[in-house]
């Protein structure tokens, strides 16, 4: 497949124009990053978003790998002297890797098989007679007797027929058309079955101890659960398909309508081919495909949940007290100011075994007063809700207006022991670093969470079961996308944050921080070129996403890219506006355009840029310090505590979505356990995917449907008038 054909195929698959695909691939091949292309090359791509660009890139990589595999296969078959024009055409025309592998199967070097041994015994001519269903006189045994050769190990006619059938069975099994037909029918009619290895011991796999579901409809989370149960040796799993239908499908392809002396031999070989060779191979293949499909789905959920979590609005202009709850080892507390600077830390012991409740309250109250704390961030781990009771009780006794919220602490312990944390706080113990992270996650979730391996943040299900390489790649893309969407302050960002900026890697991020430490704050974007490792391409990729609040060049404080400074200046000149006027009131730009009835086409031509770039310049000038996270739902702050005993069915509450999975969403409503909104209770309409309705961090109004105190389960609904 040449490049032109590849662009055509991708355009058809993704519903895009041919030139959009070609131009995007050219940009990607030129080492341009996805965020940069999406934000600053809209004229070239036709305003494709990041999802479209990544989809194009994934298909390009797949098709290029496919082409490489085709070349390898063609060379191998040609070296064997078995490449025919028809086979070559089929391989070249294949659009899926599985098609290529099916066509290559008869020519793939094999280990020693029953068919190999039969060929060594000289039985291939007999096998060919069976396959051709030759009309000859006599019986199969009479014909087979001609192949008896005791020196080669063929002592009877039946042995000769058995060996010939082995060759026929392997030939049928290697037939690409047979494989494709059986694969398709198995997918249509097959059922995934799981059963307990020991019905008395199934751990958490109770629902899967006698379970079956169609391959066509089984959801990803069940596949992952069953796979885990099998891996942990609790479950036995197989695919059940209608055997008689499968064998009949093969017979239809191989047995002619006219009966002959070899018909029964061929039927026996068809049955053997299916049972011994094809069915096990197809089962392995489909199980792998199901797992891959489940991985893709699960990783997509992780990615979407992580994106929502990273885009949680920062709690600006607040001094925060972080609390990392615990029992025996106490609760670590740490105060930070509105910039995230660590002020002071301590340990309190309100819970068993020490039970120093009053002393703990006094310590927290002292921290609140001395450090002007306005919000308390409580980690959601062990002893979280007991600590919440302590804080709520204290708030009720204080005159100051204080609020608290529960913060997801997943990954805090990973961060606390990391080189990044040790470098930030070399004199603090790991547990204290962890609760500083908890407090900072409330202050600025994005800046803090980028310090943690995305896999440790814990949004989704079965994160340790999916392909870890694919998961890491997908989550890194999400973090990169979020960081570049928000923009980064070049003079305050950590290396952990900077390394996700387009065009910046870990080494360059460290060099930027080192440059700041040695030479002071950056005064302009242009100064970035002085940093070791920042070449022209890296500068072009990164500059638009980096902000310098104190720069004398106004555009350095905005999302306007340096390559568009001249068009931006031309725009202001054509509108008769000064930089100071726009700095004071960015809305003047759009207002002037409306008042003077200027068309975008006309202005773009005057400014020497495309319409899409001009629109972005106007947006950037209108809101130079715009943070897209400000448009997201605000965090729910509380001042009182609920327990499961306070709940009653029908009660309506506000809660924060903590996790979204295939079957619904878990919502923090302020009690110890998160409640579950099943996808059937998310809306009055049918909901296929919960992520179409809610995201992590959303604030939702829910009604309590059911309360199971014994198991700590709370059922919720978002349909309030049912």
Q: What percent of the chain has pLDDT over 90?
A: 81
The whole-number pLDDT of residue 484 equals 95
Q: Where are the alpha helices (DSSP H) in 201-329?
A: 220-231, 243-254, 263-272, 279-310
pLDDT band at 709 (very low <50, low <70, confident <90, very high): confident
Nearest CA to 571 out of 547, 546, 592, 595 is that of: 592
Is the separation of the CB atoms in 325 and 350 below 8 Å? no
The whole-number pLDDT of residue 107 equals 94
Residues 370 and 469 in one domain: yes
Name the more confident of 431 and 574: 574
The whole-number pLDDT of residue 630 equals 84
Which residue among 630, 664, 692 closes a domain? 630
Residues 546 and 560 in one domain: yes
pLDDT band at 395 (very low <50, low <70, confident <90, very high): very high
| Residue range 396-426, pLDDT digits in tens | 999 989 999 988 888 888 899 999 999 999 9
| Residue range 250-259, pLDDT digits in tens | 999 999 877 8
* Structural domain contains residue 168: no
State how far the Cα of 573 lies from the Cα of 424, in Å rounded to an integer.
46
SS3 440: helix
Q: What number of other Cβ atoms are within 10 A of residue 690's Cβ?
A: 21
Residues 354 and 421 in one domain: yes
| Residue range 518-557, pLDDT digits in tens | 999 999 999 999 999 999 999 999 999 999 988 989 999 9
pLDDT band at 62 (very low <50, low <70, confident <90, very high): very high
Residues 326 and 445 in one domain: yes
Mean pLDDT of 95-117: 93
* Structural domain contains residue 442: yes
Token output for 615: 């629109």
Of 479-483, 534-538, 639-643, minimum mean pLDDT range? 639-643
* Structural domain contains residue 135: no
Using the 8-state DSSP alphabet, how is residue 149 labeled?
B
pLDDT band at 609 (very low <50, low <70, confident <90, very high): very high
The whole-number pLDDT of residue 670 equals 82
The whole-number pLDDT of residue 514 equals 96
Q: Could you please report the per-residue DSSP string of 95-152?
A: -SHHHHHHHHGGGS-----HHHHHHHTT-HHHHHHHHHT---SS-HHHHHHTT-BGGG
Averaged pLDDT score across all residues of the chain: 93
Name the more confident of 469 and 372: 372
Residues 526 and 382 in one domain: no
- Is the pLDDT at 209 greater than 80? The verdict is yes
Which residue among 484, 510, 525 closes a domain? 484
Residues 448 and 534 in one domain: no
- Tell me how many domains the chain contains: 4
* Structural domain contains residue 82: no
* Structural domain contains residue 134: no
Residues 480 and 535 in one domain: no
- Is the pLDDT at 472 greater than 90? The verdict is no
Phi–psi pair at 138, nearest 5 degrees: 100, -170
CA–chain centroid gap for 203, Å, is 28
Residues 480 and 338 in one domain: yes
The whole-number pLDDT of residue 716 equals 96
* Structural domain contains residue 574: yes
Residues 330 and 468 in one domain: yes
- Is the pLDDT at 438 greater than 80? The verdict is yes
- Structural domain boundaries, residue 36: 3-77
Mean pLDDT of 268-294: 96
- Is the pLDDT at 465 greater than 90? The verdict is no
CATH number where 466 lies: 3.30.420.140
Q: What number of other Cβ atoms are within 10 A of residue 417's Cβ?
A: 12
CATH number where 667 lies: 2.40.50.140
Nearest CA to 477 out of 15, 47, 58, 10 is that of: 58
- Is the pLDDT at 448 greater than 90? The verdict is yes
pLDDT band at 481 (very low <50, low <70, confident <90, very high): very high
| Residue range 677-689, pLDDT digits in tens | 999 999 999 998 8
- Is the pLDDT at 477 greater than 80? The verdict is yes
- Is the pLDDT at 41 greater than 80? The verdict is yes
pLDDT band at 464 (very low <50, low <70, confident <90, very high): confident
Residues 399 and 339 in one domain: yes
* Structural domain contains residue 689: yes
| Residue range 227-250, pLDDT digits in tens | 999 999 999 999 999 999 999 999
Which residue among 33, 60, 77 closes a domain? 77
- pTM of the full structure: 0.85
* Structural domain contains residue 385: yes
Residues 508 and 621 in one domain: yes
Sign of CA dihedral 599, 600, 601, 602: positive
The three-state (H, E, C) secondary structure of 612-672, written as one string: HHHHHHHHHHHCCCCCHHHHCCCCCCECCCCCHHHCCCCCEEEEEEEEEECCEEEEECCCC
Residues 423 and 544 in one domain: no
Mean pLDDT of 581-589: 94
CATH number where 505 lies: 1.10.150.310
């Amino acid at each position: 497949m040449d490049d032109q054909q590849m662009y055509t195929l991708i355009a058809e698959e993704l519903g895009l124009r041919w030139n959009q695909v070609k131009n995007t691939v050219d940009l990607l091949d030129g080492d341009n990053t996805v965020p940069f292309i999406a934000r600053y090359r809209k004229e070239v791509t036709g305003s494709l978003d990041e999802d479209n660009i990544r989809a194009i890139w994934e298909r390009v990589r797949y098709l290029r790998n496919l082409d490489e595999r085709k070349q390898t296969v063609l060379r191998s078959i040609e070296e064997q002297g078995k490449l025919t024009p028809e086979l070559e055409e089929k391989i070249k025309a294949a659009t899926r890797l599985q098609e290529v592998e099916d066509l290559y199967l008869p020519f793939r070097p094999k280990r020693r098989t029953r068919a190999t041994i039969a060929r060594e015994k000289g039985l291939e001519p007999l096998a060919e007679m069976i396959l051709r269903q030759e009309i000859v006189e006599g019986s199969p045994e009479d014909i087979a007797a001609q192949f008896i050769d005791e020196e080669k190990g063929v002592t009877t006619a039946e042995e000769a027929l058995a060996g010939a059938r082995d060759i026929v069975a392997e030939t049928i099994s290697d037939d690409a058309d047979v494989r494709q037909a059986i694969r398709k029918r198995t997918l249509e009619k097959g059922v995934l079955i799981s059963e307990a290895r020991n019905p008395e011991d199934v751990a958490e796999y109770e629902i899967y101890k006698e379970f079956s579901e169609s391959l066509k409809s089984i959801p990803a989370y069940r596949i992952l659960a069953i796979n885990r149960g099998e891996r942990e040796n609790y479950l036995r799993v197989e695919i059940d398909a209608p055997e008689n239908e499968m064998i009949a499908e093969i017979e239809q392809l191989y047995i002619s309508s006219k009966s002959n002396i070899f018909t029964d031999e061929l039927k026996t070989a068809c049955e053997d081919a299916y049972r011994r060779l094809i069915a096990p191979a197809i089962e392995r293949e489909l199980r792998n495909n199901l797992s891959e499909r489940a991985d893709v789905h699960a990783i997509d959920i992780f990615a979407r949940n992580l994106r929502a979590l990273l885009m949680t609005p920062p709690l600006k202009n607040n001094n925060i007290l972080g609390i990392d709850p615990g029992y025996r080892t106490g609760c670590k507390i740490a105060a930070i100011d509105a910039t995230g600077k660590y002020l002071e830390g301590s340990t309190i012991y309100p819970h068993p075994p020490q039970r120093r409740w009053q002393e703990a309250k006094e310590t927290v109250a002292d921290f609140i007063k001395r450090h002007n704390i306005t919000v308390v961030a409580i980690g959601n781990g062990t002893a979280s809700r007991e600590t919440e009771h302590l804080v709520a009780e204290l708030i009720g006794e204080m005159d100051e207006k204080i609020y608290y919220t529960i913060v997801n602490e997943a990954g805090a312990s990973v961060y606390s022991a990391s080189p990044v944390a040790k470098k930030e706080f070399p004199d603090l113990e790991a547990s204290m670093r962890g609760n500083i992270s908890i407090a900072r996650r409330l202050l600025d979730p994005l800046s803090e969470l980028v310090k943690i391996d995305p896999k440790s943040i814990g949004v989704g299900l079965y994160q340790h079961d999916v392909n870890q390489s694919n998961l890491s790649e997908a989550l890194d893309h999400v973090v990169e996308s979020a960081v570049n969407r928000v923009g980064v302050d070049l003079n305050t960002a950590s290396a952990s944050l900077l390394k996700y900026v387009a065009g910046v890697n870990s080494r360059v991020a460290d060099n930027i921080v080192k440059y700041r430490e040695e030479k002071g704050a950056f005064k302009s974007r242009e100064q970035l070129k002085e940093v070791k490792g920042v070449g022209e391409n890296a500068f072009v990729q990164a500059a638009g996403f980096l902000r310098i609040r104190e720069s004398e060049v106004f555009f350095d404080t905005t999302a306007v890219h340096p390559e568009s400074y001249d068009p931006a200046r031309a725009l202001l000149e054509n509108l008769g506006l000064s930089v100071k006027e726009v700095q004071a009131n960015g809305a003047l730009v759009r207002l002037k355009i409306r008042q003077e009835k200027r068309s975008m086409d006309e202005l773009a031509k005057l400014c020497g840029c495309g319409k899409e770039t001009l629109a972005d310049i106007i947006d950037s000038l209108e809101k130079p310090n715009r943070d897209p996270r400000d448009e997201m739902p605000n965090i729910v702050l509380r001042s009182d505590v609920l327990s499961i005993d306070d709940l009653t069915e029908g009660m309506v509450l506000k809660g924060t979505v903590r996790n979204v999975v295939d079957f619904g969403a878990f919502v923090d409503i302020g009690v110890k356990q998160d409640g579950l909104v099943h996808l059937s209770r998310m809306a009055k309409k049918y909901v296929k995917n919960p992520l179409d309705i809610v995201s992590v961090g959303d604030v939702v109004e829910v009604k309590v449907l059911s309360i199971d105190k014994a198991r700590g389960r709370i059922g919720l609904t978002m349909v309030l008038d049912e």
